[in-house]
Amino acid sequence: MPKKENENLSSVLAQLSESSQLAERMKVESSRIIEIAELLIETFQNGGKVLICGNGGSAADAQHLACELVVKLKEEREALPALALSANPSVLTAVSNDLDFRQIFSRQVEALGERGDVLVAISTSGSSKNVILAAQKAKEMGLQVVGFTGEGGRKLTSIVDLPLIIPSRDTQRIQESYMLAGHIICGLVEEAFKEEG
């Protein structure tokens, strides 16, 4: 096997190993994953909705999770009200232009959030100013706040009600783990709402 192919294979195997080892370490967060799912179930049962925010890859994760909740993961069930705050470019650019980019999520929380709703705030670093402001606004308004972050995310975890801390400082591994945890959470939520028979 040529040297470059050997190097590529080593890189692939190393990353697969890192990812699987992180999934194993995430078992320490199992109870927190269940708590978050139970909060979302209770929120939907009480007529509330879930708002989700994040930047970049975390914005994509927010949209992915909202999609799974609105449509379905795998079970037939009623649609659940979830909204990614990164999904409306007109609002994002208007807030950025007319107000301040740091307010792109908090302004939407102010407009759309109600007591009894949940905000899921996603920040790999835990220090994204616009995510922090959204979490603060949500708390002011009486929303419950869930935070997805990595090991260094102390600013976010100090604000939220339920932090899910991925035990890593590697951005790509953390983001992969968001989807692993997110799919598990969506599956537990879906189980509570699936159609019988």
Please report the DSSP string for 8-61 in residue order: HHHHHHHHHHHHHHHHHHGGGGHHHHHHHHHHHHHHHHTT--EEEE-STHHHHH
Question: Which candidate, 125, 110, 124, places its Cα nearest to that of 51?
Answer: 110
> Structurally, how many domains does the chain consist of?
1
- CATH number for the domain spanning 143: value is 3.40.50.10490
For residue range 112-146, list pLDDT tens digits in order: 999 999 999 999 999 999 999 999 999 999 999 99
* pLDDT on residue 197: 40
Instruction: Work out whether the CA dihedral 30, 189, 16, 152 comes out positive or negative.
Output: negative
Indicate whether 85 belongs to any domain. Answer: yes
Q: What is the pTM of this model?
A: 0.93
Q: Mean pLDDT in the chain?
A: 94
- Determine the structural domain holding residue 184 and report its residue range: 28-193
Indicate whether 81 belongs to any domain. Answer: yes
Indicate whether 1 belongs to any domain. Answer: no
Helical spans, DSSP H, in the chain:
3-25, 30-45, 57-70, 89-94, 106-112, 129-140, 154-157, 171-193
Indicate whether 9 belongs to any domain. Answer: no
Indicate whether 8 belongs to any domain. Answer: no
Indicate whether 18 belongs to any domain. Answer: no
Indicate whether 55 belongs to any domain. Answer: yes
Indicate whether 2 belongs to any domain. Answer: no
